[in-house]
């Protein structure tokens, strides 16, 4: 299931410039967090976006990618905040949390409309 909804590059990019290189370079850790984020999105929205991915509109795929990469970015940031500048990790966490929450709200409210006709 890993990386169906977003790419590892998008998640690492959203984690910021001062991300820990050990975690950003670990395919195993990132793939695990991808699986968890994708499963969480499906559970939270009560929709199996993974199995129905090909039936989704371009817009839906963009929202899912944005939400999933933000979920993973928060895990990357939380892994080690020591490399970030003062309050940088807080700002990145808040930004990604806002993207995640707004995206989930859209996905929850319009799941049927986001599939291609």
What is the residue range of 54's domain? 8-112
In a domain, 88, yes or no: yes
Residue 84, in any domain of the structure: yes
Quote the pLDDT of residue 16. 97
Quick one: average pLDDT of 65-69? 98
Question: What is the model's pLDDT at position 110?
Answer: 76
Residue 105 maps to a domain: yes
Does residue 2 fall inside a structural domain? no
Closest CA to 43 of 117, 116, 114, 108: 108
Number of domains in the chain: 1
81, 82, 88, 72: which is closest to 12 by C-alpha? 72
* pTM, full prediction: 0.93
Mean predicted confidence (pLDDT) in 19-24: 95
Provide mean pLDDT across the span 70-93.
97
The mean predicted confidence, pLDDT, of the chain is 93
The whole-number pLDDT of residue 101 equals 97
């Amino acid at each position: 299931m890993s990386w169906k909804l977003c790419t590892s590059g998008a998640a690492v990019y959203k984690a910021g410039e001062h991300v820990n290189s050990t975690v950003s370079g670990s395919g195993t850790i990132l793939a695990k967090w991808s699986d968890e984020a994708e499963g969480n999105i499906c559970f939270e929205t009560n929709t199996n976006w993974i199995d129905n991915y090909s039936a989704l509109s371009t817009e839906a795929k963009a929202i899912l990618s944005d939400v999933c990469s933000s979920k993973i970015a928060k895990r990357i940031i939380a892994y080690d905040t020591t490399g970030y500048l003062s309050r940088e990790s807080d700002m990145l966490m808040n930004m990604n949390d806002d993207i995640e929450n707004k995206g989930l709200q859209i996905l929850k409210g319009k799941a049927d409309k986001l599939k291609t006709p």
